[in-house]
Structure 1
Amino acid sequence: MANFVLIVLCLLIGQGLRRVKDFPRDGHRALNAFIIYVALPAVAFRYVPAIEWSGAVVWPFVVQFVGFGVALGAVWLFGRMKPLDTATRGAMLLTMGLCNTSFVGFPLVETWYGADAIRVALLSDQGAFFVLSLLGVGFATWYAEGHVSVGYLVRRVVSFPPFIAFVLAVLLPVNILPGWWGVLMEKLSAPLVPLALISVSLQISFGERFGQWGELWWSLMVKLVVVPAVALGMLWWVADMPEEYFKVTVFESAMAPMVTAYVVASQFRLNSTLAGYTVGVGILLSLLSTAGWYYLLEWWWEG
């Protein structure tokens, strides 16, 4: 219960800080820099060495790519029902196809499944990062400019600090780590959840005029309901997975849209207003929808 209260409290703190006159308007940039360069790498160094490598670890990656494929189909289908401009198509694709696996996902996974489940959530997060760096940025570039550079995408992947930390943590021999290593990484990663949630809230504004509720609700229905349903069906019929991997992988696929989807939409001059509303409303709704998915997964597994 404390973790759930923490999520709500941090979101309220972020909205409160937006109204503090002396608080920098771009204060979230400092929080994001600490998260990306310190906290997320510390999470990798804390949990990756404890992962038991098996065939099950592939599926958290695969599910993130499948979710993006579902989003592509959903954008095409909605476009058949209602004409969409290129900027709106791009914004809908990004918000439907990219999961908030870390900033919102980690605290929710910890709330429902415990801190040890973060090691599985971390795999989903790396999968989401690959989807963002390759497909997300690729399609955003294509929607905005009509072409995409492979070299640009590769540079984004290999220079991203959490990815570098993930690779180093995989290669790091566990038996050479000193006894204090785990405690140090725990301390460095501890601020991740509150700072990430506050950063998310700082970047969300509900003050803009908005008139695309149909696009918003379609995007959220796909992201919060259809994508995890597809993940559940695929893993149930295809993958032979341990209980924790199965539940956390599906649970992570049910997360709200990635905050970075809004950032990318803004950078590539897509429909950033739609993206911002979808991310903001999605985060609030996901606090309820993920609870529903938790109980459904418990019932499903027991059945």
Structure 2
Amino acid sequence: MSAVTTIGWIGLGNMGTPMSRRLLSAGYPVAVYNRSPEKAVALREAGATVAASPAALLTAAEVVFLMVSDDQAVRELFTGPEGLLQGAGPKKLLINMSTVSPGVSRELAALSQAQGHTYLDAPVSGSVRQAESGQLVIMVGGEEAGFARAQPLFEHLGKLAQHLGPTGHGNLAKLAMNTLLGFQAQGLAEALLFARQHQLQADDLLTLIANSALGSTFIKLKGEAVLADNYQAAFALKLLAKDLRLAQAEGLATPLAETVVQTFQQAEPALGEEDVIAVLKHLERA
């Protein structure tokens, strides 16, 4: 790579925008692409260039990050008309930070390798606040040489980037972590509903939890959201429902997991755009 790595970024949603902005603020030349071009305006005003297509982005950049919603979206970006793999130039590093299935990562890694590129799956733990502050946890699958090449860039995005093994292992780790996140969200919701049933104050229960071994950043943030009646999505319920389906497809079939998967699938039609802790509202109505 050159002395100053040229960056391409695809996907300017709630996470992709602050993450790409951090690389831009760190002094990297950044080109962006988003299917809805209006989402690129703020980055362009901050100094990024806007590519006309994924193929044009790959031609212009040495390292391309993707942060999009699902398997279908990322596959289309790689293989569709004017997709990434139609771009020019050898030995590009393609870093897919989306939460997708391990299978699609293995498929895209093989296609990338056939054209001389390196593919990493590198999903993240954390939401918008952590993306803005560079405090994400990044879990990486793929070649160790690719991970070493990406590490200086990961340092601007997260507090930890860990290489976990071959392609797909980053995705598997993310599915395991989001399974636990689902357990915690539903568990917190059920505890709060139980407290309400017996006229215990939610803020009192949350204070007790925060000062016990059960306290965590997740419980704190989601508890505060419930107290404020604020269900604006930091991590949308529909995305967790999707991740739980992916985990189930990879063999997740334990009793607690089956219950949580079912709960979030049932909650998704009405509450999918709200935060994961909106599962409380679904359980309240059940």
> Which is greater in Rg?
2
Place the TM-score, normalised by the shorter chain, in its bin: under 0.3
**Which TM-score applies when normalising by structure 2?**
0.25
User: Greater helix percent: which structure?
Assistant: 1
User: Greater strand percent: which structure?
Assistant: 2
Bigger relative contact order, structure 1 or 2 (CA pairs below 8 A, ≥6 apart): 1
**Which TM-score applies when normalising by structure 1?**
0.24
